[in-house]
Structures are given as structure tokens and as C-alpha cells.
Chains A and B, each alone.
Chain A
Amino acid sequence: MTPHCDRCDVWLQEMLDGNEPDGAVLEHLAGCPACRALYESAVGLRRGLALLPPPEPPASLEDRVVAAVLSDRRRRARRRHFIIRAAALAATVLVVILIAERRAPVPPPPKPVPVVKGPEESGPSLRQTVSLAGSAVADLTARRVDEALETTRLLWPKVEPGSLPTMDMASTLEPTAKPLQTATQGVSAGLEPVAGRARRALALFVRDVPAGGLLSKPGT
């Protein structure tokens, strides 16, 4: 960089900005060769810049630019319309889906399963109890049947064929209807006291049962 005065920086900028130097600057320039040289070079630059022709655009540039701008506008408009149509279509499909969902029969909600506090906490259930009782009865019955069959098998070989008394079956048998009627009446007469006691017991039981039933909790 060529050395120059500090003050040159100021007036050089003003001069190249288009302002002419004032009297004080001209007086300084007369006594300072370095600043005068800078001043003259700045005058040369200013003269050259004034002559500098602006680059001329080619004649076809304007048409090309206008065509490109119009084409760009059309393309952007098409894209905008496409987006609007797509959005409208999407909205329509959404509305149709919502309407279809509203019109469809709604299945009834599943009935809530009553949660009954199971008797597991307090003991075996009624079904388990009955099952156990049934098993016990079946075992007992099977055991008794086995014992009876065994006894019968032991006694059977000791019976002689001629030891049994002969019976005249044809003369002793009576007509079937009469003894059956008699048996029915006899059974009824025999069960009468038992049935009467059962009725009385049931009446007493029903009287003692609370009004809410057997399953209702006390106090509810």
C-alpha cells in the first residue's frame, strides 16, 4: 500500500463519493507530494469509472426471463391446485369414513359378569362338596356290593339242589293287579306318618327362613 497522510483517507473517500475537495484540502495537496499523487490517481480512477460501460445483457435475455417466469408461475399454480384438490379429497374421504362409522350398528356392550365373592376363601364350593359326597357314596356302594357278591359266592356251593323246598308256583300265585294294589295301599299307609312329619318339618323350616331368601346377605 502506498504511504499517504492520515487525512487523505477522509477526503479520498469523500472525493470518490462524488464530492470535490475543499480549499483546505487543496492547500494541503499543494504542499504534500504523496497526497497529491494519491489525489491524481483518484481522479484517474474516477474518470475511468465514469467511462466504464455497464455490461449489456443479450437481446434474448428478456424474452427468456419472462418465459421462465411465466412458466414457473404456471407450474406453481398447478402444484397449488393439486395440493388443494388432494386436501379436499382427503377431507371428503375422512368425512365419509366418519359418517359410515356413525351409521354402522353398534354391538351391545358385553354384560358385566357379576363378581360373586367365591366361597373359595371360606371353604369348598357346593359343587365340590356334592362331588365329594357323590364319590364317597359311590365308593361305599361299590364296596358293599363287592362284599355282598363275595358272601354270595361263598354260600352258593353249600346249597344242595334238593334241599330247597318245592313250591307249587301255579297254585300259589295270585292275579298280578290285586297284590300290586294292596302293596300300593300298604306302602301309602306305611309312609303316611313319615310324610306327615316331613311336611311339618318343612313348614317349620320355611317359617324360620328370613324374608330375603337363603342367598341374601344379612343386613342387605
Chain B
Amino acid sequence: MSDEAGLVQRCRKGQPDAIRQLVERFQAEVFGLCVRLLHHRHDAEDVTQEVFLRVFRSLHRWDPSRPLKPWVMGIAVNRCRTWLAQRSRRPEVVDYLHETASAPPADDAAELLREIRAAVDALRPEYRTVFVLFHEHGQPYEDIAAALKRPVGTVKTWLHRARLEVLDRLRRRGMVEGEEQDAEHGPCETKP
């Protein structure tokens, strides 16, 4: 029996130390994803709690032959989607606190990070999800596809478009090289 399977089995028996261990293992990933997808730390905390409630209620459905992390992240993505859908029906509440904390740019890197965050936040939800899962959580295509219940090809397409949109924004903001060269020299084989 794998380490994860043993941990899950102990969690299903209701052992508090096992429950704490599983929360410790995934809470940073889940919380990070929730913050990125929801743009709101307080909402992210609430949704993280909901995600773990769902995880522990559904542990009997987890397939021990598959890794646990994509399964947990899939639940997190679904909860964020539901939360966003519910929030879209309520008045918009934007949490600026976590952005203003790093508002004064210490150097170019900090400004670049802030622009990347802003560019990612401006993406469509499905593009943002695959971008965050791949670039911030290091999830492979297959795991993202499993978490989103989409084909790998779809995930690759979404990620490709997300990258192009982020790059385009960064170049227009002058955060990365290339805008002037593009204006001066046309592409060798262009496409729109």
C-alpha cells in the first residue's frame, strides 16, 4: 500500500493526526490555487475549507491507483468555479488588500510579478485555471486534464492561448523585450 493510500485509509477511520497530515500536505497548493482563481484572500480561505470538507467526505471515491494531488486539485477547481458562479450573482467585492501590500515596486522584478499577476487575473477562467495549475503548481498536462475532466489537447490549447495573452499584455506594458523590434521588423512568416 502506498503512502497516500495509507494516509487516506487512516483519514477514513477518523484519525485526527492523519487528517491534519493530509491538510498540511495540500493546504498551500489548494489555498494558492483558490487565491489565484478567486482574486480574494478571504474567499480563498473559505473555499479552501470547503475544499477539504469535500475531500474528506469523498475520500471513499478516490482511486488509490492514481495520485492524490490531481484529485484534490480537481475538487479545488470545481469549488472555485462554483464560488465564482455564485459570486457573479452577488455584488462584486474586490479584495485589494493583498495587492496593495506589494504595491510599491521595490525593483523591476516586483513590478514584473505584479504585471504577471494582473495579466493572469485578466484571463478567462478556464485559461487562468490551466495557466495557474501548470506554471504555479507544476501540474503536468495529464493531471490538469484529469482535474478539469477535459482532454489533454484542450488543456494544451487553453494553455497556449493563455500564454500568448499574457505575453501580449506584458509586451504592451513594456515589461518584457520585443515590442520595438516587432514594430521595426515585420515577422518572417506572419499570421494574425
Measured CB to CB, the residues of A under 8 A from B are: 1-7, 9, 12-13, 16, 31-38, 40-45, 47-49, 51-58, 61-62, 64-66, 68-70, 72-73, 76
Contact = CB atoms under 8 A, between A and B. Distances in A.
Contacts of A12: 163
Interface stretch (B71-79, B121-129, B167-175): B167-175
Contacts of B105: none
Given A41-B176, A44-B176, A31 B188 contact: yes
Contacts of A57: 27-28, 31-32, 45, 48
Given A1-B192, A35-B187, A48-B109, A68 B182 contact: no
Interface string B20-34: 100110011001100
Given A54-B136, A72-B53, A61 B45 contact: yes
B41 A68 contact: no
B187 A1 contact: no
A64 B35 CA distance: 17
- The prevalent SS among residues of A at the interface is helix
Interface residues on B, range: 35 or more
Contacts of B19: 66, 69-70
Interface in B143-192: 156, 159-160, 163-164, 166-168, 170-171, 175-179, 181-182, 184-192
Contact of A45 (B27, B56, B159, B163): B163
- The prevalent SS among residues of B at the interface is helix
B48 A69 contact: no
Given A13-B159, A37-B179, 14 more contacts: A4-B187, A9-B160, A16-B163, A41-B176, A41-B177, A45-B176, A48-B113, A49-B136, A51-B112, A57-B27, A62-B23, A65-B52, A68-B53, A69-B23
Given A35-B188, A54-B32, A45 B170 contact: yes
